[in-house]
Amino acid sequence: MMPVIQINPEDIPKDENLELRTSSFFQKHKELPTPDEVRARARAQYAAGTHWGWKERSVTSEGYHGCPTPAVFEEMGLFVKWGRLVKLVEGQTLYALQKWWGKPVPVPELYGWRTEGDEMFIYMEAIHGRTMEDAWPSLEEEDRIHICSELRAILHNLRQMKLPPNESFVGSVARSKYYERALFDASQSDSGPFKSVKGFHDWYIFQYKRWVADPETIPEPYREMLPDDSEIVLTHGDLHQSNIILTLSHPPRVAALIDWEQSAWLPAYWEDCKAYWTTLYTDEWAAKYLPLIVDHDEDLVEAWRYYTNPIGVSYTIRHRVCVNFVEISVALFQRAFHSSSIASL
């Protein structure tokens, strides 16, 4: 049985720059590459087609979501995630997992982070392997089931990390704002931390109607289905197959979970809802395998999706689509309510 690990948010560094001199990197190397060296390496790897990032990303911080092509220094075993929208919380969560937990939750070893202007650079171990997204089609059924079992155990271990008894909040691991990719950018400025699950829920469901002239007129038919008494647990927040690295060995096993930028202290059901949000809901991964990894509640996911779908659209069309969706939803709800009222007369 895994022990409970208590994390004090005050003990997590909040500095703009951090070097973990006791990490394995500094046993072999004197200094981390500078931001300019990182940019140059990313540019060269992108031009050569040898980078580890998605090909549509550019090599500037104006690239995909402000997260350009990462830089890999294979001779140092180093991976650098950088850009305007790279989040300090990712480094802080890796720090917490590395300091207080270790192998039960496999993640890249953190070496440090730096800030230069409006860009953040997170230096971490380069994990050699394949993403589960790439490997999945060729995996045997036995290996798929085993990997799902591994992931379930990892999430269980993650939840053994607890806040101190006198602490209770929804927010990032270090008690700061919570970053949620399902939300519009305009919502991120007031995204916590929240003193209670109820406060978090009230704020979250307000986002789907905040662009309407009179938001108080918008019905909340599923509000009571979001449990205000949910336990607050440490959550990865983005269990997409591309964020799960498998070993190159046979049989393959889970090497690491990556991309912790949306991690936070969140209601216990959130991991389930977000994992399904990253899928097509009806594909085989969602229908057959995700229930082996997370405790799935279809009714709760449906309620969560009702409030999230209007605010999970693309950046460029967010305002108009949100207003249209809410107005249409309200009209349909009112029409259904009116019809049922007439039928009951």
Percent above pLDDT 90 for the chain? 68
pLDDT beyond 70 at 167: yes
CA distances from residue 224 to 216, 220, 227 in whole angstroms, order as listed: 16, 9, 7
Q: pLDDT, tens digit, for every residue of 79-127?
A: 999 999 899 999 999 999 999 988 899 999 999 999 999 999 999 999 9
Do both 154 and 61 map to the same domain?
no
pTM: predicted TM-score of the whole model, two decimal places? 0.86
- The total domain count for the chain is 2
Do both 169 and 292 map to the same domain?
yes
Do both 103 and 183 map to the same domain?
no
Do both 152 and 245 map to the same domain?
yes
Q: What is the largest CA-CA distance in the chain?
A: 80
What pLDDT band is residue 51 in, cutting at 50, 70 and 90?
low
Q: What is the pLDDT of residue 10?
A: 95
DSSP string computed for 139-172: --HHHHHHHHHHHHHHHHHHTTEE--TT---BB-
Domain boundary among 126, 142, 174: 126
The reply to whether omega before 251 is within 30° of 0 (cis) is yes
**Does a structural domain hold residue 338?**
no
**Does a structural domain hold residue 318?**
no
Place of tokens 């440090």: 112
CATH number of the domain that 48 lies in? Answer: 3.30.200
Task: Please give the residue that has the higher pLDDT: either 295 or 180.
Answer: 295
Task: Please give the residue that has the higher pLDDT: either 317 or 118.
Answer: 118
What pLDDT band is residue 342 in, cutting at 50, 70 and 90?
very low
Q: pLDDT, tens digit, for every residue of 250-281?
A: 999 999 999 999 999 999 999 999 999 988 77
Do both 174 and 289 map to the same domain?
yes
**Does a structural domain hold residue 329?**
no
Do both 221 and 235 map to the same domain?
yes
Do both 54 and 165 map to the same domain?
no
Domain boundary among 71, 101, 126: 126
Do both 268 and 289 map to the same domain?
yes
CA distances from residue 42 to 37, 108, 131, 219 in whole angstroms, order as listed: 9, 19, 20, 48
| Contacts with 162 (C-beta within 8 Å, 6 or more apart), sequence order | 4, 5, 6, 7
Range of the domain at 198: 131-309
Q: What is the pLDDT of residue 111?
A: 99
Do both 267 and 167 map to the same domain?
yes
Q: What is the pLDDT of residue 192?
A: 85
Rounded distance, CA 9 to CA 84, Å?
24
